[in-house]
A and B are shown apart, each in its own frame.
Chain A
Amino acid sequence: MPIIKVENLTKVFGKKTKEAVELLDQGLSKEEILKQTGSTVGVNKASFEVEKGEVFVIMGLSGSGKSTLVRLLNRLIEPTAGNVYINDANLATMDKKELRKIRREKMSMVFQKFGLFPFRTVLSNTEYGLEVQGIDKQERKEKAEKALTLVGLGGYMDQYPSQLSGGMQQRVGLARALANDPEVLLMDEAFSALDPLIRKEMQDELLDLQESMKKTIIFITHDLDEALRIGDRIALMKDGSIVQIGSPEEILVNPANEYVEKFVEDVDRSKVFTAENIMKRPETINIEKHGPRVALERMREEGLSSIYVIDKQRNLKGYVTADDASNAIKNEVKDLNEILKTDVPTVELDTAMNEIFNIIHDSPVPVAVVHEQKLRGIIVRGAVIAALAGESEVN
């Protein structure tokens, strides 16, 4: 069951909002509505569901409505129409008291420019969410310290935000959000203000934290690389509408329309594609059944210079080359084990393509893709080049 369900969520900025919503229902575009009513459509009937424990990325360029959308989720901006359900409670219609309860206990937010109170220490900032709930001093101090330790700032509790670097400030922002132990984390361009190296470090750390916390994270970004890196699923926004929702691969491989296609055109594919995406079915021989003769025959049929050797359980044993096989036949060697080469270059299913480059460059044979010791596929050089060139079907 999804933890968050968004139905036709709409925000119109301006005066004639009712009229604008009606025109939206009639299918008029953002520009036409602006001309007719003078109102700006911020978010246009967004609908999506987020599963518990998922990292859901909302991405789009500036002005696409992504920051508005995330603020509709905790009603920092009042929706004009539509519903937001969190665990079946409709946030869009609840009264202020209920809304505060949700904000205090279920949803926390991390801000682009950190949103830290400059006159409070790191610890006191982290305690803020607990403080407004009226939790007693001792308990909130313990919880805040735990959250700060989690983000690696255990030693900075008495510093003021201005004494910390940007990356560290955002860790405080994250700790403050985690201190109330919310179910949902809303992260609005949380890493966009950081420089690229720190940003990558924070992304990695967020993913590490997520491994153990299993929070539901809704992450807003304008950076496609970031979206692809951390998102389980990505929603792409344009002009206030969601254009496509899908896994990173789906979005790259099957862009829903020209806009998405344009967007993903410049992506560094080598970071997105994994071994699994570019491997092909391997030709193999079975060490328990076959000898050098079968191996050579199979290679000749397929036009290969080497072949992978497995056992009955498809466990990878090694490979033999055509030269070794024909020498073995001349010398009447029957056992494949004698000519088996075991210095196999292997990668895992989820190894990113940019890590495969070096391995494949130094390897005389195709790279073996293994999972739990079983051979799942092989990668030849041609496949890597094809994937880089952006062919959607690499197999």
Chain B
Amino acid sequence: MNLVDKIPEIPFRDWIDTFIEWLKNVLAVPFEFFREDFKDFLSDVVTDNLLKVPAEIVMLLVVIAAFFISGKKIGLPIFSLIGLILVYNQGLWEQLMQTFVLVFVAGLISVIIGLPIGILMSKSNIVEKIATPILDLMQTMPSFVYLIPAVAFFSIGIVPGIFATLIFATPPTIRFTNLAIRQVSGELKEAADSFGSTPLQKLFKLELPMAKTTIMAGVNQTVMLSLSMVVIASMIGTPGLGKEVQAALSRSEAGDGFVAGFCIVILAIIFDRFTQGVTKKGK
């Protein structure tokens, strides 16, 4: 018998199960809110209302926004228009809107959560030391794993999809915020301090404006990672383009799969150029 065999099996599995079960009970009320009300809000209010808007109007708005965000160039507006018409033409407009809501909401929550955590990290070396390995873990853990507690907490549908996406996609926003604020030159920080700024004044009048460009690069990363979660999240019933890809896979229909895949690519490119455009404008 090997020496290593003498160590009894450590019940990691039980611990994690117990922990998840415990969390589920402790946070039962907020979880239920997200599982029921938030889900209804997203699918019945946001997505449905979005679908009530005629596709032509949505396309027009996107084209106008693209025109201004790209600095009054016509490349992005034309690409957006053709891309959106193509999606509509392939009968995937509804799925596109569902995926858009997933990515947009996940991105928004990522920024709302990530920005303050990033700021905290930049202000405290201790917080940075604790947070860094956790962020590493969040990004390296196979993202499928997040689906399990997501289902345990939020059942199936768009909400667990957003949850799993958040865990996987928030780290870049946190990291870039931390980095950006730490990179603000020491002399500028000293200047702000020497004129008697409070820590909050320094943050809002110097550090965040200086960090804006880099933080937006992090947000761009977050949005791109959210898109990459679209197909994975569809495994737990998140509706949208990802679900089409998965359905095509299970039926071995390459055509369906590629068409849905291309639609995700089109959405990704529009999202990417939009977030980058906002970044460049910040300069």
Contacts and interface: CB of A to CB of B under 8 A. Distances in A.
Nearest to B212: A119
A100 B201 CA distance: 12
A317 B193 CA distance: 60
B205 A133 contact: no
B8 interface: no
Contacts of B190: 71, 76, 109, 111, 115
Contacts of A115: 187-188, 190-191
A119 B193 contact: no
Contacts of A101: 196
A113 interface: yes
B280 to A, nearest CB: 14
A132 B197 contact: yes
A103 B191 contact: no
A318 interface: no
A71 B186 CA distance: 13
A141 B191 CA distance: 19
A104 B192 CA distance: 11
A112 interface: yes
B205 A108 contact: no
Interface string B200-238: 010001100110000000000000000000000000000
Interface string A81-112: 00000000000000000001111110111011
Given A111-B187, A111-B190, A112-B187, A119 B195 contact: no
A292 interface: no
Contacts of A108: 194-195
A101 B198 CA distance: 11
The secondary structure that dominates the B interface is helix
Interface residues of B, number: 16
A119 B194 contact: no
B191 A109 contact: yes
Interface in A135-187: 176, 180, 186
Contacts of B206: 117
Contacts of A112: 187
A177 to B, nearest CB: 8
A319 interface: no
A74 interface: yes
Nearest to A100: B196
A113 B188 CA distance: 9
Contacts of B209: 117, 119
A60 interface: no
* B192, B197, B210 interface centre (most CB from chain A within 10 Å): B197
Interface string A20-35: 0000000000000000
Interface string B161-205: 000000000000000000000000001101111111110010001
B196 A129 contact: yes
A371 B156 CA distance: 97
A109 B190 CA distance: 9
Contacts of A132: 195-198, 201, 205
Contacts of B197: 100, 132
Contacts of A105: 196
A103 B210 contact: no
A123 to B, nearest CB: 15
Contact of B194 (A103, A117, A131, A133): A103
Contacts of B198: 100, 132
Interface in B257-274: none
A88 B192 CA distance: 25
A128 interface: yes
A71 B191 CA distance: 11
B130 to A, nearest CB: 21
Given A117-B206, A132-B201, A132-B205, A103 B187 contact: no
Contacts of B187: 111-113, 115
Contacts of A119: 209-210
A115 B198 CA distance: 17
Interface string B21-44: 000000000000000000000000
Contact of A180 (B191, B195, B205, B210): B195
B195 A129 contact: yes
A128 B194 contact: no
Given A111-B187, A113-B187, A115-B190, A104 B205 contact: no
A199 to B, nearest CB: 19
A115 B201 CA distance: 16
A176 B198 CA distance: 18
A160 to B, nearest CB: 12
A117 to B, nearest CB: 6
Given A119-B209, A119-B210, A76 B195 contact: no
Interface of A: 71, 74, 76, 100-105, 107-109, 111-113, 115-119, 128-129, 131-133, 176, 180, 186
25 contacts: A71-B190, A100-B196, A100-B197, A101-B196, A102-B196, A103-B196, A104-B196, A105-B196, A109-B191, A111-B187, A111-B191, A115-B188, A115-B190, A117-B188, A117-B205, A117-B209, A119-B210, A128-B195, A129-B195, A129-B196, A132-B195, A132-B196, A133-B196, A176-B195, A186-B194
In the A-B complex, the 8 residue pairs with the closest CB atoms? A104-B196, A115-B191, A103-B196, A129-B195, A109-B194, A100-B196, A115-B187, A132-B197
Given A111-B187, A118-B210, 12 more contacts: A76-B190, A101-B196, A103-B193, A104-B195, A104-B196, A108-B194, A109-B195, A115-B187, A115-B190, A117-B209, A132-B197, A132-B198
